[in-house]
Structure 1
Amino acid sequence: MYLTQGLHRAVQQQPDAVMTICGERRRTFAEVAERVSRLAGALQGLGVRSRDRVGILALNSDRYHEYLLAVPWAGAVLNPVNIRWSPAEIAYSLADCDTRVLFVDEAFVPSLPTLYSAVPGLRTVIYLGEGPAPDGTLDYESLIAGAQPVADTCLGGDALAGVFYTGGTTGSPKGVMLSHTNLATSWLGSAATGCLPTRASRSLHCAPMFHLAALAVWGSTLLLGGSHVFVPSFKTESVFEAIAAHRVTDVLVVPTMIQLLVDDPRIGEYDLTSLRAVLYGASPIPAAVLERAMRRLPAASFTQAYGLTETAPIVTVLTPDDHRNGLLRSAGQAAPHSELRIVDADSNQVPTATIGEITVRGDHLMAGYWGKPAETAAVLRNGWLHTGDAGYLDDQGYLYIVDRLKDMIVTGGENVYSAEVENAIARHPAVAQCAVIGVPDTEWGERVHAVVVPAPGQTPTLEDLREHTKTFIAGYKAPRSLDLVEALPVSGAGKILKRELRRSYWSGDTRQVH
């Protein structure tokens, strides 16, 4: 399969049906296909060749949607950039995979001088925002209007479709290489559960579209011929307005977003009865929040998905029936395209109900990390992806996640690796030693917590460390709480014992993740 296949099918079967809604703009499947073919022609005219990387740094929109289709149409490779990253992280990801063409909108124009200086290979910037294109950039609509349509390359199968950057376990982001087959397998297999969008769906995109979870909903909607509604970013009022105005049926959110929506006092002012499916991921939802959500959105069902960027992304699904049957502590059963196995430290399969590392097999597994063969070999072994998450399977194949073997924190639906935060904090002159852990948080699921041994005569404050770290990494990765200690607990080999640091925060919890 290839990524644009769903668009061709929809043009054949329902050319005049609405495909995209963004503000006042509505476009049919036929209109989108025409624009995508012209945008692909424009990219080729700019020198983009087969398998070149083309990036985007923008908020959600129908033009983001067209980028996702035009780049593979032209035979090139997607590189959606994390909009929450610092300029240094953005520059690293662009330079790492030699991205030379970048789409930006008005929100990120101020970052361009930094990117030009930090990414020497960046030669072309296309402005897809509203209003006149800034100096030195090409206007998106003018490019489309002035280009000739080109035939779809239909490049698919094992060809590289995109490079999707995830946080770095050792401080630098890693580019996950996903093929057309990887993405299509995940989208189709997930859609086969009946819990993701269908041809009759109108999917709202309010989670950032660089994220693989958001692209899972986008992709399944695309393949099955549903329509798409875009808001630039998540704001409760804009989500309510979009659902009510456009009769949205499906939406992807993280648990923090669900909580903000159902606790907003304005929720009763909008007609949300069209909403039939809420898909969430990144972490389980607290039972109290789910109960409030089910009361306030009585027509909607709830589905949880567990996955990783490396698995394109969906691995397991907890269905609406599972929710109603009290299985909220589970991450669900393997999706139709995914195979699960729990193994010990020697990669031997362990018995049911025994905790071990979660491993995954299937055609949705990444090809590897861009330019990082050692890191790839460490997680892809004998056809199985080693997730770094600890869990167990019950006798019906339901997965329960109990801990993380890797030092990763999931806060507000975003992955934060302890190492990259520690690297940033350690540069502060008032810090002698530090460790970063995830601790429970009622709003964010987990929060980034720093444990710091101050340098002699120094007393760093939380605000000091937050401002300092944000010069190196994204703001959401900065610590939200702080302990100052005289020494960190270490093993006989000198390794910091993070379990000792976490114990007081997680005591009483049956699992050590939220």
Structure 2
Amino acid sequence: MRLTQGPTRAAQQTPDLAATVFGGRTRTWRESQDRVARFAAALRALGVETGDRVAILSLNRDDYHEVQLAVPWSGGVTVPVNTRWSVEEIAFSLADSGTRVLIVEHTFRTMVPGILERAPGVGTVIHVGDDVGDGEHAYEDLIARHDPVPDALRGGDDLAAIYYTGGTTGRPKGVMLSHANLLSSALGTAATEHFLVPGGRLLHTAPMFHLADGAAWVARNLVGGTHVIVPGFDPVGVGSAVAEHEVTDALLVPTMIQMLVDSPEAASYDLSSFQRVVYGASPISEAVLDRAAKRLPTAEFSQLYGMTELSPVCTILTPDDHGRDGLRRSAGRAAPHSEVRVVDDEDRDVPPGTVGEIVSRGPHVMLGYWNRPEETDTALRGGWMHTGDGGFLDEHGYLFVVDRIKDMIVSGGENVYSAEVENALARHPAVSSCAVIGVPDEQWGERVHAVVVIAPGASTTAEELRDHCRALIAGYKCPRSVEFVEALPISGAGKILKRELRAPYWETAGRGVS
């Protein structure tokens, strides 16, 4: 199968059904298919050949849906760009992936000169929006000037997309996902009958560059229906979109759910069309889930656990599971396409209830990390994806995630690797040494917390360090709190003992991961 197959079927079987709804604009599946084929022709005319990388830097919009289909239609590989990254981070991902074409929405056009300076391999810029700059191509003009071309029919194990995720070494890693990877995850999740309503309306409010939303996008294309798209998340915008367009499905991170159900402004909107709400990226508190169930009584809640390297779904906690004692803190059981084990340091299964590393095997497991063969071999040793997450299985196969083996922080549904933040902090002249950890936060689940040792004779402030980091990394990765200490705890092997730094914050939290 291929990513373009579902939309092609929709254009044949439901040509007049709305494919996308965005900002008062509706495009049918027939119209969408025609625009996809025309833009694919434009990409080919601009020199995109089989396997070439095409990046998109944009807020959520209907054009994003078209680009994600047109790139494989042309034979290319999609590189979704994190809109919250700094110029330096974006440029690294484009240079690392060898991206040739950058599609950029007008919101981010001021970043383009800096990106091109740092990623000179990007030879073509396509502008979505008004006021096209010198040397840029206009997205709508390209569609208007080119006739449709046949689908390149890329599929199966062909590379479909490279999703960049935080790296433990301080640099993002490109996760290579095939058509089969993405479709296997979507099909397996849809097979549970708890993911999306067939023929329903899916709300895109989580960022479309993120694979959590991407997984829902793939599934909606497979089972048919409509994409209702808003630029980003805000409670009023979501409430308005749900009420106006009778949205049936949404994928939200817990922070979004909390903000939606607690918003006085959103309370006036009719949300009774909701039938399925899927959440993931971080756990949700019992209190928020209870409030959400009262505010959205027509909706079933499911939790998905996974990671980009798993395309991304690994386990599912179904609506029925949510009503069973003791299971709300579980991440669910293996999805139909996924095998799950918990292993020790020598990759041997541990008994039920014993904490070890969570590993997964199946057609959803990534092809590997772009240009990183050694890290790929380590992650996929023995044919299993080693997640770096610690957890245990109970006697019925329910997975409980209890801690992260890798030093990753999940703040508001976004992954933050401590090494990235530490590398940024260490570039400040007043910082002698530092460690970054995740600590409990009522709003964000976890917040990025820095523990800093000041260099002799130097001085700085928490605000100064945050400003310094903002120039180097995305704002959501910057420390929300800073603690100054005389020295960091060090093990006999010379490693910083982060567990000791975390302990005072997590002792009363009731679990190792918020």
> Would you say same fold, with TM above 0.5?
yes
- 2:165 is matched with 166
- 1:218 is matched with 217
- 2:66 is matched with 66
Contact 1:401/1:511 (8 A) holds in 2: no
Amino acid at match of 1:43: L
5+ long unaligned stretches in structure 2: none
**Cα distance per residue 1:275-320 (max 9 Å; x no partner):** 1111111111111111111111111111111110000001011111
Report the Cα offset of residue 267 of structure 1. Answer: 2.5
**Cα distance per residue 1:238-267 (max 9 Å; x no partner):** 111110111111111111111111111023
Amino acid at match of 1:308: M
Report the Cα offset of residue 132 of structure 1. Answer: 3.3
Amino acid at match of 2:375: E
Contact 2:440/2:509 (8 A) holds in 1: no
Contact 1:193/1:336 (8 A) holds in 2: yes
Contact 1:49/1:75 (8 A) holds in 2: yes
* 1:38 counterpart = 2:25: no
* 1:54 counterpart = 2:54: yes
> Residue 208 of structure 2 aligns to a residue in which SS?
coil
Distance in 2 separating the partners of 1:391 and 1:511: 11
- 1:347 is matched with 347
- 1:431 is matched with 431
Contact 1:197/1:226 (8 A) holds in 2: no
- Aligned positions of 1:142-181 closer than 5 A: 142-181=141-180
Distance in 2 separating the partners of 1:306 and 1:16: 35
Distance in 1 separating the partners of 2:135 and 2:251: 36
Q: Percent identity?
A: 60
Amino acid at match of 2:116: Y
Distance in 2 separating the partners of 1:465 and 1:303: 39
Contact 1:198/1:220 (8 A) holds in 2: no
Report the Cα offset of residue 23 of structure 1. Answer: 1.2
> Residue 213 of structure 1 aligns to a residue in which SS?
helix
- 2:399 is matched with 399
- 2:11 is matched with 11
**Cα distance per residue 1:321-352 (max 9 Å; x no partner):** 11122421101111100000100001111111
- 2:337 is matched with 337
Report the Cα offset of residue 271 of structure 1. Answer: 1.2
Distance in 2 separating the partners of 1:213 and 1:348: 30
5+ long unaligned stretches in structure 1: none
**Cα distance per residue 1:118-162 (max 9 Å; x no partner):** 111111111112x23233211111100110110001110100001
- 1:192 is matched with 191
Contact 2:261/2:267 (8 A) holds in 1: no
Contact 1:303/1:317 (8 A) holds in 2: yes
Contact 2:197/2:275 (8 A) holds in 1: no
> Residue 382 of structure 1 aligns to a residue in which SS?
helix
Distance in 2 separating the partners of 1:132 and 1:89: 26
Report the Cα offset of residue 268 of structure 1. Answer: 2.5
Identify the range of structure 1 (457-466 vs 350-359) with the bigger mean alpha-carbon deviation. 457-466
Amino acid at match of 2:193: G
Distance in 2 separating the partners of 1:177 and 1:50: 16
* 1:272 counterpart = 2:306: no
> Residue 342 of structure 1 aligns to a residue in which SS?
strand
Contact 2:251/2:277 (8 A) holds in 1: yes
**Cα distance per residue 1:18-38 (max 9 Å; x no partner):** 111011211111111111111
Distance in 2 separating the partners of 1:132 and 1:466: 34
Distance in 2 separating the partners of 1:320 and 1:198: 14
Distance in 2 separating the partners of 1:441 and 1:510: 13
**Cα distance per residue 1:209-246 (max 9 Å; x no partner):** 01000001111000111210111111111111110111
> Residue 265 of structure 1 aligns to a residue in which SS?
coil
| TM-score (norm: length of structure 2) | 0.99
Distance in 2 separating the partners of 1:198 and 1:137: 40
- 2:365 is matched with 365
Amino acid at match of 2:296: L
Contact 2:163/2:174 (8 A) holds in 1: yes
| TM-score (norm: length of structure 1) | 0.99
Distance in 2 separating the partners of 1:198 and 1:6: 16
> Residue 293 of structure 2 aligns to a residue in which SS?
helix
Amino acid at match of 2:315: T
- Equivalent pairs, count: 513
Distance in 2 separating the partners of 1:74 and 1:467: 42
Amino acid at match of 1:212: L
Distance in 2 separating the partners of 1:133 and 1:222: 31
Report the Cα offset of residue 478 of structure 1. Answer: 0.5
Report the Cα offset of residue 510 of structure 1. Answer: 4.1
- 1:291 is matched with 290
Distance in 1 separating the partners of 2:266 and 2:137: 41
Contact 2:77/2:160 (8 A) holds in 1: yes
- 1:132–1:429: structure 2 CA closer, same or farther, 3 Å change rule? closer
Contact 1:402/1:510 (8 A) holds in 2: no
- 1:127 is matched with 127
**Cα distance per residue 1:47-70 (max 9 Å; x no partner):** 100000000000011100000000
Contact 2:197/2:249 (8 A) holds in 1: no
Contact 1:191/1:198 (8 A) holds in 2: no
**Cα distance per residue 1:434-453 (max 9 Å; x no partner):** 00110010000000011111
Contact 1:11/1:30 (8 A) holds in 2: yes
- 2:410 is matched with 410
Distance in 2 separating the partners of 1:244 and 1:143: 35
> Residue 508 of structure 2 aligns to a residue in which SS?
coil
> Residue 9 of structure 1 aligns to a residue in which SS?
helix
Amino acid at match of 1:262: V
RMSD, matched Cα: 0.9
Distance in 1 separating the partners of 2:119 and 2:282: 35
Report the Cα offset of residue 11 of structure 1. Answer: 1.7
- 1:309 is matched with 308
Amino acid at match of 2:472: F
Distance in 2 separating the partners of 1:4 and 1:322: 34
Distance in 1 separating the partners of 2:198 and 2:103: 29
Distance in 2 separating the partners of 1:12 and 1:199: 17
Distance in 2 separating the partners of 1:275 and 1:459: 53
Q: Which runs of 4+ in 1 moved over 6 A?
A: none
- 2:26 is matched with 26
